Structure 1
Amino acid sequence: MRSATLKVPGATLYYEVRGSGPVLLLLPGSGGDAAVFDPIADTLAEHFTVVTLDPRGYSRSVLDSPEPVDQQVAVQRDDAHRLLETLTPAGEDAYIFGGSGGAVVALDLLAHHPERLRLVIAHEPPCFAVLPDAAEQKAFIDEVYTLFRTEGVAAAGTRFLEGIGGTMKAMPNPAELPPRTAEMIHRLHANAPLMMAHELRPITSYIPNETALAPLAHRLILAAGKETRAHLPHRPAVTLADHLHIPLTEFPGGHSGFTETPPNSPPNYSTSYWPRACVSGTVPKCGTRGGRYLSRPPSGRRDRQQRAGPTGCWFADVSDDQRRVTPSTRRASCVLPPRPGTRLPSECRACPRLRTCRVGV
């Protein structure tokens, strides 16, 4: 792993780079930093050039101004874009994963700078303003902010965790952790009041540009944790997926489950939720609502006809979009074969849309 800094307008960003292959930028949640992805970064670095950063104003990314400023989504988006332009080789595309507040930044990045983004995974973006009860959720966030100003970060944090359904685990005791992890915990504790004061309200009031995202939906995965079902963190992803007519992908665990469960356990985690099989560019996921390759026959859907695909995977024809997917039209509906490195069928290799397919999710 190497670390470096990048000067951007108003700040100096600290970032870390591991591995080789296509660039995969991991964006942490509000108040997080590069080290929150340590549990998964080394495994992903076997397949990607993994880039993690401290967002401006947090941890080791320092502001030019002596006083903290509000964290605006557009500014964080531009920071991420500049980092990608610096690290992504010419002619190549990048992958983005954002968790929580990082998912909001990832959505805004896709809406404004889609030209070099191959795939964006947004895990539980807390854009509560898209919900039908947005006014109620704004009142909740305002209550948390008032508690922070009157009683401190501990009281505000307790109320926030209650309001989102207790779906986040408490931070561990630094004394019981390895030195690098203990240092991260100390930094996150220092970041918490900054997040409450300067990011909580802007990030939760963000409204994604659905008009800009709609034609790019084939490059977007909206995700949520299985353990947050029926809780507040889960709901914006469900709502946005419905608005954009794309499926919701569920990760193991809760709001931060993508780091709590290593990518090689359970066995289907790496192939189902992280885009590791796309490293060689031989495994596509295309942009329409067609069928999908599965490691076993799908079940429980009356509108699917099942048959064996030519690579030995199972393939599901989908009739709900008035389209019967056959080998000649499979270019619009391939998902992930079960084994990384599987070569594309000839029909997909010849597809003129291959460059814009969603890859290896």
Structure 2
Amino acid sequence: MYTPLHLLPQYSQKEKDRLFDRWQHGTRQGAKDRKAIIEKIKEGGGEDFLQYDYESGHLSTMEHQWDLRGMWIGNLDVTFPQGDNFETIDFSYAVIQDCTFRSAAFPNCSFSFTIFRNCTFIDCGFAYMGMYGASLENTKFVGCDFVERFAFSNCTLSGVVYENCYFQQPIFHDCKFDESTRFENLAPISQWFPESQGYKRQKNDLAEVYKGIKDAYIEGRVTKQSRQFFFLEKQAVTRHNRKGMEKIGGYFLEAVAGYGVRPQSTFLLMLFSFLLLSIPFMLMFGSLQGLLFGAGAFLTIGIRTELLDTLPAVLQAWYLIETFFGLCFMALLITVLARYWFEER
């Protein structure tokens, strides 16, 4: 369950202010160090790219060589060289705004309580890390990989877009999405490691991927998208997590009711069944009269019941069968529509 930021025990407004002030409103050294670090990021970062300057005493604002906590990083457009560009960097309480990063690697980083605004990440890789209590606003991930136990935990997403991204495992836990957050074409394989079996998503994990997304939309009270990913979750469970009669039962529920969230599936199957069951009457009485007679049976409204006496025993039994199916479909349609309608309210 999503917990508001100010209620998280690990969050400290005092610590946030302290970390932010040392770069922005503290000594001249803080502003100087920030400028030097930004230049190194523009150059592409790299593994331990701050270690030498920190150990030489040139970045005294930092409390350790990976410490970018509370820093404001903005207005950057960088294409990174291949490598671990930000390995182990701690971005906790940082603000990353109006940035475009291409081909950046973020292995084992920390993004606790980080704020992202108006950012774009293109072909980036995120691994062995997580975002906890982070806030993402109007941010876009295009062709990015999220692998090796990466997780968004208790994060707030507003206007975030994931386009052709790869999720190796379920990555959303106790998050909250707004209605403008969307997912466009989840990638089936890793784009950074397409040939590696170690980064291949297990089919039985797909349902949990969809479940995390669905739960986040529910937390944001976004009914349409939560319903969509509920359907995808149940569909994945049927295809990859069930066997035998349970799998058959799942396919049946999908066909007749769309797992309770697609009344159009029930209506179309109901219409098809009505036409199919009315064929014998259409052959006997003609198309129009046969449809009216069949409708009387299917909808239990008794149209042209005087024709029953003219039917042979087999078609009289068929009339009862059509009535039974009509009652079943009407009850099912009302149930699905009620769930669909009340869920939005």
TM over 0.5: no
**TM-score of the aligned structures, taking structure 1 as reference length:** 0.25
Higher helix share: 2
TM-score, normalised by the number of residues in structure 2: 0.26
Question: Which one has a bigger Cα radius of gyration?
Answer: 2
